[in-house]
Structure 1
Amino acid sequence: MSEQRVAVITGGASGIGRQVSLKFARKGDRVVVADYNEAAGQETVDMIKKEGGEAAFVQVDVSKQESVEALVDKAVELYGRIDVMHNNAGIGGAGPVLEQNMDLYHRTINVNQHGVAYGIIAAGRKMKELGIKGVIINTASVFGFLASPGTFAYHATKGAVIMMSKSAALELAPYGIRVVAVAPGAVDTPIIQGYKDSGMLDSMRAKVMGGELTQPEVVADTVYLVSLDEAAAITGSVVMADQGYASFK
């Protein structure tokens, strides 16, 4: 691509989103770091600028469609285009099915599922409007395929992300816009660390290659590779970035 790309990363204040933001910037792309947490999001931007990259922070509440639409509009206002939309923002949805905190249940659905839908719609419309053959990458999870106790709402959202990615890819293909889901496994992020006292982390380590949690930087590498023109054949797919978690027993 001759023109410098613009990548919008939601959940860019920490974890996978921060590392994806750093990865794209290090490769020469301009990055819009989007998050609800302004201080931590600005910290990601400062890290990028310290390394000589170009980035801006935009506060977003992905549970609100108008906020996501404003994010995409702001990215185009700042940099003139949008080539990559990484719908990554997410929260954990803990709690056994019969003991659901319904406020947390709805919050999880609104952020993890609706937030991705809003991102697909807003970025897809803008890419079509601008005639950009971009790529929309959605953070799914092995928990979109595999069940585990105590994460009822989270499973629901990640399963939805997978099917939304497939459906959107089918409809956006005529415009040259790709849609891909990346499914991490046991990644060392604040969400996973929230389960450290339950014994769940030990179980996860036993199911991955090397016996250690995946680092966010490794997932970021996968997201970046999927975004490249050389990955043009990948759309409507779920790319596993799980170190074998979904395959190992």
Structure 2
Amino acid sequence: MKNNQEETLSKNKELTLKDKVIVITGAASGIGKASSELLASKGAKVVLVDFQQNAGQETLKGILDKGGEGIFIQADVSKSEDVQNYLDQTIQAFGKIDVLFNNAGILQTFSRFADIEEDHFENIINVNLKGVFLGMKYALKIMDDQGYGNIINTASTTGIRAEHSLAAYTASKHGVIGLTKAAALDYVRRGIRVNAICPGGVATAITAGVPQQLQETGYMPEEFPNMRIGRYAEPHELAEFVAFLSSDSSSYMTGSILLADGGLTL
């Protein structure tokens, strides 16, 4: 009897993403791409959202070629009309939104606080923070009407501590954590969960130039040349984290700020 129960539980866990409709922003590369591919492989219907049309279409093609189901929508996540459009298209295509993975983001050019250009600061805030706010704002209306929903936001270790020469990025990611907690509290009795992940160093195109940029600023934090775990995370490792939060296995989690940083913040 015990073995049969264990087999049933195992099968149920394997099917927890089946037919879930999951929207992923920043889906054309890095964590977003890896997550899109993994979620689709687990049975989710994925909606890939990215500003990069060619890369997004290529990611979608790879998913469809492997038998997955999904669509691609080009969008600038910092624009309200684009955000409403990708959510409207999701509803038109699939009739619901189970999960929104707010992952789109850009990295600040490394510079001391007083040297940050105002337009660069605004761009970082618009994409990294306003983009998350808009995605949550309009998705929460849909999820509230549905009576359920699940939002996952990509924050960063810079959301819980400052990082040298990254004041704008640090501010944006602190803001993401604040929005996550505020929304989780507002909707805690509405059947909607909101959580955030905080990656440390991840091996993506966006971070490939980080060591050189740091050297150019004249400052190299000790953890960059020698990560505490000995390496950067691979995008697929973060994707597994996203899959867990997207599943019913994380049903009792909301307002959680989850580190996946290889010991970076120890």
Question: TM-score range, shorter-chain basis?
Answer: over 0.9
Q: How many residues align?
A: 245
Corresponding residue to 1:8 among 17, 20, 23: 23
Amino acid at match of 2:226: A
Question: C-alpha distance in 2, partners of 1:2/1:237?
Answer: 20
Find 1:116's aligned residue among 123, 128, 132: 132
**Any conservation in 2 of the 1:113–1:161 contact (CA below 8 Å)?**
yes
Deviates more, 1:53-62 or 1:93-102: 93-102
Q: 1:143·1:159 contact (CA, 8 Å) conserved in 2? A: yes
SS at 2:196 equivalent: strand
TM-score scaled to structure 2, two decimals?
0.88
Is the partner of 1:31 in helix, strand or coil? strand
Show the counterpart of 1:232: 251
Instruction: Give the CA deviation at 1:202.
Output: 7.0
**Match for 2:52 among 37, 44, 55?**
37
DSSP 3-state at the match of 1:149 = coil
Which residue pairs with 1:93 in the alignment?
108
- 1:75 equivalent in structure 2: 90
1:107-154 deviation digits (Å, cap 9, x = unpaired): 0000000000011111111111223x2210000000112222211100
Q: Give 3-state SS (helix, strand or coil) of 1:55's partner.
A: strand
Match of 1:47 in 2: 62
Partner residue in 1 for 2:6: none
Superposition deviation, residue 64 in structure 1: 0.8
Q: CA deviation at 1:3?
A: 7.0
How far residue 201 of structure 1 moved from its aligned partner, in angstroms, is 8.4
Is the aligned partner of 1:207 residue 2:227?
Answer: yes
| Alpha-carbon RMSD | 1.6
> What SS is found at the alignment partner of 2:223?
helix
State TM-score, norm by structure 1: 0.94
CA contact 2:63–2:69 (8 Å) conserved in 1 = yes
Counterpart among 4, 9, 19 of residue 34 in structure 2? 19
State the one-letter code of the partner of 1:103. D
1:141 aligns with 2:134: no
1:196 aligns with 2:211: yes
Structure 2 counterpart of 1:171 = 186
Secondary structure at the residue paired with 1:212? coil
Aligned counterpart, 2:235: 216
Of 85-94 and 192-201, more deviation after overlay is shown by 192-201
* 3-state SS, counterpart of residue 173 of structure 1: coil
Contact 1:204–1:213 (Cα < 8 Å) also in 2: no
Contact 2:149 2:191 in 1 (8 A): yes
SS in 1 for 2:33: helix
Matches within 5 A, 1:148-163: 148-163=163-178
Give the deviation of 1:159 after TM superposition: 0.3
Q: Read off the aligned partner of 1:139 and give its amino acid letter.
A: T
What whole-Å deviation, never above 9, does each CA across 1:6-44 have from its counterpart, x for those lacking one? 000000010110011011101000000000111011111
Provide the C-alpha distance between the structure 1 equivalents of 2:47 and 2:228, rounded to a whole number of angstroms: 32
Contact 1:178 1:234 in 2 (8 A): yes
Aligned counterparts of 1:41 and 1:50: Cα–Cα separation in 2:
14
Q: Could you tell me whether the CA contact under 8 Å between 2:24 and 2:32 is conserved in 1? A: yes
SS in 2 for 1:191: coil
Residue in structure 2 matched with residue 127 of structure 1 by the alignment: 143
Read off the aligned partner of 1:23 and give its amino acid letter: L
